[in-house]
Structure 1
Amino acid sequence: MRQIKRFFLPLLAAALLLSGCGQTAVEQEPVENVQETQEEEIYTEVTPLEEVDLEDEAVALAGAPAVSTLLLPEASGTLVQSNGKAVIDYSNTADGYVMVKYTAATTKRIKVQVKGPTTTYTYNLAADAAWDTFPLSDGNGTYQVVVYENISGTKYATVLSQSISVTLKDQFAPFLRPNQYVDYSAAPNTVAKAAELTAGMTDPLNKVAAIYDFVVKNLTYDKQLAATVQSGYLPVLDSVLAKKTGICFDYAALMTGMLRSQGVPCKLVVGYAGTAYHAWISVYSEETGWVEGVVYFDGVSWQRMDPTFASSGKQSASIMQYIGDGKNYTAKYLY
């Protein structure tokens, strides 16, 4: 296999932030006792929300050559677990993802958990019979994919579950394709803009710099959205691009989608920036290894760059010093 530079970029869902990228916790209602109903017999188990750690407040506010075609996920139907309510397609785990859809008609809240070897990820799922894609961010190992339906209060029931043994084609597989958080498959304008910004470029590092510069110079922080954003918020990349405003989640998702569409493996990272829940970018190359929180190289040294802080701070010396200090960042999730 040819030696190449490979890069990563991450973002995850974090918590609601009121000012800047601060965090507001979502209150959990006490677990209520649930009456036995005929519907419950389709569930495999009934579990209090706290026991399964379904994080309702997760919203982040504050090496291969570039491929010429988009690597889009597909539900191949080769390996499937299903019942009368939901379907889990795990045909393409080697490519770093599973796909889930909820087929039954319901007004109840639906969630999906992807329990990896070290980390459990919780997502909302629309009951619209459409496929959603979820990355296998923990790498190789055994995963449990579980679909939950809300019964009452904070009590959820397991509708469908599948254990999966995952061996990735390579460690970058989960971070090239679109998923629920970085859905560039539904963002033709974002893909086209990325192609325009990187026209004639073959070096992934140059693509990172071009896309980073565009996002930082053209997007402004949306304080109103940050103060009112609701649980379950997901960036719509073409809308972010058109409005040129967004919260932390939007900044990181837009960059991640652009870079992935250009064949640059990227992770979406959610964690802490100081004491605030936040979303940012990380990059990897075979020459330097992991450089956490970095998307910019000045030709001499790597600089730690969080695109939201860099943009809202107008790249001031104090902001650049802050985001250049690795102690200010603690990763929690990778998407």
Structure 2
Amino acid sequence: MNSKNPILTALLLVISAIFILSGCSDASPSDAKAKAEKKEEDKYEKLVKEKNKEIELQPLELSPYNQEINSTFTKPEHKEFAVNGEVVVEGKVEKFSSLKSDYVWIKVFADEEGPAGKQHEYYTKLIEGKFKQKIHFFNGEGKYHVSVQIPSTETENYYFEATAFDVHNVNPEIERDITLTPFGQDAEVALLNMDSSYVKENEIFSLKGEAGKLAEEDTVMLKLTKGSESWKHVLPIKDGQFTYDIPLFYGKGVHELEVLVPDKERENYYQTATTILIDNKSDRTMLPIEYMDVYRERGVTLESPVFGGEATDGMYHVKGKIDPNAEFGPETTHIYITTKKGEDEALDVIPVKDFKFDDSFYLRFGPGTYEVVLSVPEIKEENSDYFRYFGFARFEVESTGEDQRDLLPSRGVQSDAEPIKQLAKDITAGKSTKRDKAKAIYEYVAKTVAYDVEKLETDDFNWDDSALKTLDLKTGVCQDYSYLTIALLRASDIEARFVEGMARGGWWPSKHAWVEANLEGEWITMDPTWGSGYVDDDKFVAKYDEKYFDPDMAEFKKTHTRTGVAY
């Protein structure tokens, strides 16, 4: 460089250095990663070559059955060999039209039990007699035995081994292929967002799938198994898809999940479509929810809880929805909840609005284990004074809450509602003892509510009959008098309970309800219905009578027979 300008010379030298450094700079991070991966791949390919040198490579052996059906194999070529993570089985059956099935059955056995078990299966579709299946190895590195079986020409569901070979996989990566049985393939089942049928999860596995050949009225069954324990559940098909968050109930270890589809030849029978192995990392065990047939028949989806055995402080929440297209979907306006602890049992009701339910209920009998049953109501065309309901889910709940069975709000007794609390405060104003407060409440209800003769005669009972409804209508029958009385008592911090029984004499012998209240440690009886008046010629005559507040029990029992307490 002969430039006479020293500044220009220096500048040219810097530019040259930059070009030289650019040409010698390291590759981009992506290039470096690709090189590392290739190096790793080359390592396993080298291991394959070394292993195959140790093995005496011999031609693949075919069974005599191949001659009978004119079948041949193009892959693999040897009966024992090494591979890097995968092997291809490929062949052709000339006499495929005579076979009793359209699938070749390939069974892969690991020499040793691994995290993903010891066996995996493939059903490979025969297309114009040709078949091709790529196989990966579910336990990673190790020796595997592969058996290729071709259907019988005479017997349904019967296969003959066409060939078998041994594979030494040198790659440690665990890859359990997602495979479908013939039933799964016929239903066009596919698992979404999954590339392996061996997965690791923590307590919950989110299943998402589709079944292109199943109709909206079809269902998919799930079966979860670990050891001797198993759980089953049926899912609806919505827009060709199914989804469910599956609790891994049985603690740490591998859970086997079967996805089953309906058997079109047999009603109410399912066949396995695919199997997933889920390795749960959590030690926590959970109790399964038991679902009844009604769950599917009435189109219920229970979103919460997803498992039983949860602990709570005395209140529990449930959430779900009703399929509007299911039988009685639009008519299902409420859900019944039965809670049972030992001999004690309570019934609660929560509303269904816009085909959804989302509400809480009390575990009112103190600490312990509760059996909870969720039910849908019987849909009746005629009025009646009884309610039938059908359980759709059963589970357990552990409660640490106090026993407040006679103070907490309950079905029909909204003692925590603001109108009830304010009214109770007004009625008991200036009253210092619980007895005086209870007497004032009894008198208010007996004088304010008129007996509804028509309701009794027409059996016009409804699931939402309650204290608030009675307060609004100012009419009712014995249950309604009792609901309002108990609500006002509990709102006044007085324990009260709903008594069921029979009443003889007076108006008519029939089922009846009245009230018991705890006044300073002594339970007393009151019947605000009989204290309100009487019926004459099918008409109610209002006539307040205070003798049915803490009555003489010997006289009371002549007309009233107590059968129990309802919660």
Q: One fold, TM greater than 0.5? A: yes
Cα separation, partners in 2 of 1:100 and 1:226, compared to 1, 3 Å: farther
| 2:396 paired with 1:163 | yes
Distance 1:93 1:284, change over 3 A: farther
1:116 matched to 2:341: yes
| Secondary structure, aligned partner of 2:371 | strand
Given candidates 367, 390, 414, the residue that maps to 1:183 is 414
How far 1:119 moved relative to its partner?
Answer: 4.2
1:311: how far off?
1.1
Mapped partners of 2:389, 2:427: distance in 1: 47
Q: Aligned ranges for residues 78-117 of structure 1 at < 5 Å?
A: 84-87=301-304, 95=314, 97-106=315-324, 107=329, 109=332, 110-117=335-342
| Aligned CA distance change for structure 1 residues 123 and 264 (closer, same or farther; 3 Å) | closer
- Matching residue of 1:282: 516
For the 8 Å contact 2:310–2:397, the answer to whether it is kept is: no
- For 1:126, give the aligned amino acid: P
Letter in 2 for 1:144: E
Which digits, 9 at most, give the CA deviation of each residue in 1:287-331, with x for residues without a partner?
43x33xx1xxxxxxxxxx311112134329899779942362323
Alpha-carbon contact 1:46-1:155 (below 8 Å) kept: no
Per the TM alignment, residue 167 of structure 1 is displaced from its structure 2 partner at its CA by: 5.0
Secondary structure at 1:260 match in 2: helix
Residues 189, 324 of structure 1: CA spacing in aligned structure 2 closer, same or farther, 3 A cutoff? farther
Q: 1:255 to 1:122 in 2, by over 3 A?
A: closer
Which residue of structure 2 lines up, in the alignment, with residue 196 of structure 1?
426
Q: Note if 1:334 corresponds to 2:566.
A: yes
Aligned to 2:556: 325
Per-residue displacement from partner, 1:195-252 (whole Å, max 9, x unpaired)? 1111133422221011111111222101112233445433343442243211112111
Which segments of 5 or more consecutive residues in structure 1 lack a partner in the other structure? 1-35, 49-82, 295-304
RMSD, aligned α-carbons: 4.0
**Seq. identity, %:** 24
Shift in Å, 1:148: 3.1
Aligned length: 249
Partner of 1:182, secondary structure, is coil
Task: Give the counterpart letter for 1:279 in structure 2.
Answer: A
Q: So what's the TM-score if we normalise by structure 1?
A: 0.59
Name the stretch that deviates more: 86-95 or 209-218.
Answer: 86-95
Partners in 2 of 1:220 and 1:152 — Cα distance? 29
Residues 280 and 318 (structure 1), Cα distance of their counterparts in 2 relative to 1, 3 Å cut:
closer
Contact 1:272–1:329 (CA<8 Å) still a contact in 2?
Answer: yes
The range that moved more, 305-314 or 251-260, is 305-314
CA distance in 2, matches of 1:198, 1:263: 11
Using a 3 Å threshold, how does the CA distance of structure 1 residues 326 and 47 change in structure 2: closer, same or farther?
Answer: farther
Write the distance in 2 (CA, Å) between the matches of 1:155 and 1:220.
30
- Which range moves more in the overlay, 125-134 or 244-253? 125-134
236 and 46 in structure 1: CA distance in 2 versus 1, 3 angstrom threshold: closer
Contact 2:365 2:405 in 1 (8 A): no
* CA distance in structure 1 between the aligned counterparts of 2:456 and 2:319, rounded to whole angstroms: 29
- Matched residue, 1:308: 529
Q: Which residue of 18, 40, 44 corresponds with 2:290?
A: 44
Maintained 8 Å contact 1:191/1:261: yes
- Tell me how far 1:113 sits from its aligned partner: 2.2
> In 2, are the aligned partners of 1:115 and 1:145 still within 8 Å (CA)?
yes
For 1:21, the equivalent position in structure 2 comes to none
Distance 1:85 1:279, change over 3 A: same
User: Aligned pair in 2 of structure 1 residues 86, 333: CA closer, same or farther (>3 Å)?
Assistant: farther
> Is contact 2:413-2:483 (8 Å) kept?
yes
C-alpha spacing 1:283/1:311, structure 2 compared with 1 (3 Å): same
1:182 and 1:257 in contact (8 A); partners too = yes
Q: What is the SS of the residue equivalent to 1:307?
A: coil
Distance 1:101 1:210 in 2: 40
Tell me: CA distance 1:199–1:330, structure 2 relative to 1, closer, same or farther (3 Å).
same
Give the letter aligned to residue 336 of structure 2.
Answer: K
Gaps of 5+ in 2: 1-216, 221-232, 236-288, 295-299, 381-387, 535-542
Give the Cα–Cα distance (whole angstroms) in 1 for the partners of residues 462 and 518 of structure 2.
29
CA distance in 2, matches of 1:286, 1:84: 46
